[in-house]
Amino acid sequence: MDRDWIATAKTLSEALPYLQRYSGAIVVVKFGGNAMGDADAMAEFARDIVLMRQVGVNPVVVHGGGPMINEMLGKLGIKSDFVRGKRVTDQATVEVVEMVLTGLVNKRIVQAIMDEGGRAVGLSGKDDDLMVAVADDPELGFVGRPVEMNVQVLRDMFGAGIIPVVAPVATGMDPNETFNVNGDTAAGAIAGALKADRLLLLTDVSGVKDASGEVVTQLSPEQVRQMTADGTIAGGMIPKTETALMALEQGVRAVVILDGRLPNASLLELFTEHGAGSIIRSSESRMKPRNET
């Protein structure tokens, strides 16, 4: 008998406890980075999400789309300015953001999931007032910070066997306002409102690294704060770990920062003993095996 098939059967058998562990669990997955622009990577990601749903997990996909926004702004001749690394979003820019995220990017992901045999529906934070935001910094214009979450629409989709795909665009306190919300921030807010079992932040790096450059596989909030204070966690990793801490405070069981370029990254994290990337959870939980309840 072909050794590859034997290995596949053995892998499935070893995954059984983890399949049982996550049956009925809510897992929010932030999807972004280079994988969004690669057709093969998109198809692989979609296949993983469909498999999650097939084995009883309730996944929610939250996506970004910065490169696509940049491309469209360039085509339209709209100049982007940045303050402290964040895009200043005026009225013209937020209209392009909404068009690209809720139209082009969102529907590509929905179609990819459907192509793999899943049922998916795309929506934004504006639909059913899923995400209501206020201005995060007046200097940045229509960049929002979620302050109200209404996640019943997502729970309704779980009951119907549908995978929600959410674009990080929010309504304001004034229903005529539209806010661009950072994708990680939106994913954390949705995970917190759902009290999700896991928030997976797929990135273009292998996880949180220590001072020597090695990935730290398990972290507590206290360690994250210390590593941020001493400069070990820096740059683009800071907003991701801030999102992780916020999500944990709101009731998410654990947050994992992992490399979305790794084949089947989400499945490795959920359904294997060692997982993938850096898991952040309470000090008490750090003493338990990675995927123990």
Cβ count near 27 (within 10 Å):
24
Q: How far apart are CA 114 and CA 199, in angstroms?
A: 23
The answer to whether 225 touches 233, Cβ cutoff 8 Å, is no
Find out whether 207 is annotated in a ligand binding site: no
The residues facing 219 across adjacent strands are: 280
C-alpha distances (whole Å) from 199 to each of 8, 90, 96, 278, 293 are 27, 30, 28, 12, 15
Find out whether 286 is annotated in a ligand binding site: no
Q: How far apart are CA 62 and CA 269, in angstroms?
A: 18
Tell me the two tokens of residue 258: 């992992």
Q: How far apart are CA 238 and CA 241, in angstroms?
A: 5
How many residues belong to the chain? 293
Q: How far apart are CA 107 and CA 99, in angstroms?
A: 11
Nearest 5 degrees, angle CA 266-CA 270-CA 274? 105
The answer to whether 201 touches 247, Cβ cutoff 8 Å, is no
Amino acid 263 reads P
Find out whether 66 is annotated in a ligand binding site: yes
Q: How far apart are CA 217 and CA 228, in angstroms?
A: 16
Find out whether 180 is annotated in a ligand binding site: yes
Known binding-site residue numbers for substrate: 65-66, 87, 180
Known binding-site residue numbers: 65-66, 87, 180
